[in-house]
């Protein structure tokens, strides 16, 4: 077993033993399939590519398999071009799988055809709705990002935090904390970030593409979406929606609607911001964000989704109108008596 050493100020993982088990399991395997959730965000991509970089350093072979194309804004990340999209007919099957940022096994169901029966399955995640699936798992809802947990795995394996690994981990932590601003931003987050900077990360090189930069098409979609933003009568929740027509007329793809929900939440009186968007398979993808009191993961679970206390989502069948009615009803019930 690899025993990690730490300086006194270096953060210690809350689940030290589990992190060690995950590290030992990764050290024991030689050929890994890395999977994450559909429409991967900065933490999903960052943690998948950090694990890929880690495996490369350890001299192991790997494949990162995703369902949807990676957003171009993450193209500065190492191994971005090495990521594979899922194919209708899998070319091979893996016996060793690492799932990152996946709240449950359905989140990476797209990869099932690539996975042999009873694989060695490593589950690294920070969603409170994660049941702890897998042969070994480290699931810590107090972690701001899955990348925070991958950081601990890297440390447990005593692998040097090189620039590649550090850039990937920083990207996940930066995006999942909304630029070190959301309530999940902790002392440990900043301690880890400091080490990632020591590893070679230049913060603006990540923040500019990952958080700040928008395409002209995205701005046009924002204009349109804001023109339909509505506030509840009591001012405590706000809703936005994005139809296929809105995406088509602005030249946007689904991924371009990412982040819009923050505008609904940002209104000073609002506790819950909600974004509804029509998916290609005629369902409605719902994003929920709250500030201080409402547990939006609980609301998402009513609709078979999941997530975190302050950021969660679900995908619901029905028309835009129906789904908006059903979800806002649950939000109203969840808002404490005024």
The site partner of 305 among Mn ion, ligand AMP, none (C-beta below 5 to 8 Å per kind) is: ligand AMP
For residue 308, the minimal CB distance to Mn ion (Å) is: 8
- DSSP per-residue letters across 221-274: HHHHHHHT-EE-TTSSEEEEEE-HHHHHHHT--GGGGTTTHHHHHHSTT-SEEE
The site partner of 313 among ligand AMP, Mn ion, none (C-beta below 5 to 8 Å per kind) is: ligand AMP
Binding characters for Mn ion, 93-112, by CB under 5 A (x = yes): --------x-----------
Distance of CA 154 to the CA centre of its chain: 19
Of 57 and 229, nearer to ligand AMP (C-beta) is 229
Q: Side by side, which strands form the sheet with 136-139?
A: 84-85, 61-66, 31-35, 94-100, 115-125, 136-139
Please select the residue that binds Mn ion; options are 140, 148, 176, 278, rule is CB under 5 A.
176
Binding characters for ligand AMP, 259-298, by CB under 6 A (x = yes): ----------------------------x-----------
What are the structure tokens assigned to 166, written together? Answer: 């550090």
Of 39 and 155, nearer to Mn ion (C-beta) is 39
305 binds ligand AMP (CB under 6 A): yes
In order of 71, 110, 127, the CA distances from 313 in angstroms are 19, 18, 12
Residues 270, 235: contact at Cβ < 8 Å? yes
- Span of 135-143, 155-163, 212-220, 304-312 interacting with ligand AMP by CB under 6 A: 304-312
For residue 105, the minimal CB distance to Mn ion (Å) is: 15
308 binds ligand AMP (CB under 6 A): yes
Binding characters for ligand AMP, 83-112, by CB under 6 A (x = yes): --------------------x---------
For residue 164, the minimal CB distance to ligand AMP (Å) is: 24
Residues 81, 249: contact at Cβ < 8 Å? no
Q: Which residues contact 102 (CB under 8 A, 6 or more apart)?
A: 35, 36, 37, 108, 123, 125, 130
Question: Among residues 75, 65, 70, 72, which one has the least CA distance to residue 39?
Answer: 70
Rounded Cα–Cα distance for residues 12 and 233 (Å): 46
What are the structure tokens assigned to 254, written together? Answer: 């689904």
136 binds ligand AMP (CB under 6 A): no
Rounded Cα–Cα distance for residues 176 and 153 (Å): 19
**Count of residues that interact with ligand AMP, criterion CB under 6 A:** 14
Residues 257, 263: contact at Cβ < 8 Å? no
Rounded Cα–Cα distance for residues 272 and 267 (Å): 10
Residue nearest to ligand AMP (CB): 307
Helix (H) or strand (E) holding 141, with range, is none
252 binds ligand AMP (CB under 6 A): no
The site partner of 167 among ligand AMP, Mn ion, none (C-beta below 5 to 8 Å per kind) is: none
Of 159 and 189, nearer to ligand AMP (C-beta) is 189
41 binds Mn ion (CB under 5 A): yes
- Span of 64-72, 179-187, 227-235, 306-314 interacting with ligand AMP by CB under 6 A: 306-314
- Which positions touch Mn ion (CB under 5 A)? 41, 43-44, 101, 146, 176
- Which positions touch ligand AMP (CB under 6 A)? 37, 103, 127, 129, 287, 305-308, 311-315
């Amino acid at each position: 077993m690899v025993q990690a050493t730490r300086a006194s100020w270096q953060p210690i993982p809350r689940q030290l033993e589990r992190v060690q088990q995950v590290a030992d399991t990764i050290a024991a395997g030689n050929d890994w399939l890395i999977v994450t959730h559909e429409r991967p965000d900065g933490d999903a991509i960052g943690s998948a590519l950090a694990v890929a970089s880690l495996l490369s350093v350890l001299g192991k072979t790997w494949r990162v398999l995703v369902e949807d194309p990676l957003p171009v804004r993450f193209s500065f990340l190492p191994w971005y071009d090495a990521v594979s999209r899922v194919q209708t007919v899998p070319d091979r099957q893996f016996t060793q799988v690492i799932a990152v940022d996946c709240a449950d096994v359905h989140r990476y169901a797209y990869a099932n055809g690539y996975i042999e029966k009873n694989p060695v399955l490593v589950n690294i995640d920070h969603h409170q709705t994660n049941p702890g699936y897998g042969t070994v798992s480290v699931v810590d809802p107090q972690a701001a990002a899955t990348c925070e947990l991958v950081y601990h795995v890297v440390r447990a394996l005593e692998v040097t935090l090189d620039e590649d690994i550090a850039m990937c981990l920083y990207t996940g932590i930066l995006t999942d904390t909304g630029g070190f601003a959301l309530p999940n931003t902790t002392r440990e987050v900043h301690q880890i970030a400091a080490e990632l900077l020591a590893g070679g990360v230049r913060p603006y090189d990540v923040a500019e593409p990952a958080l700040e930069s928008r395409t002209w098409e995205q701005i046009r979609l924002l204009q349109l979406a804001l023109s339909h933003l509505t506030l509840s009568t009591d001012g405590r929740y706000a809703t936005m929606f994005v139809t296929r027509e809105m995406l088509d007329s602005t030249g946007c793809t689904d991924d371009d609607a990412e982040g819009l929900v923050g505008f609904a939440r940002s209104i000073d009186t609002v506790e819950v911001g909600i974004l509804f968007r029509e998916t290609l398979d005629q369902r409605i993808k719902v994003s929920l964000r709250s500030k201080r009191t409402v547990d939006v993961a609980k609301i998402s679970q009513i609709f078979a989704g999941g997530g975190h206390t302050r950021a969660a989502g679900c995908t619901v069948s029905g028309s835009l109108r129906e789904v908006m009615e059903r979800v806002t009803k649950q939000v109203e019930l969840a808002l404490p008596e005024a």
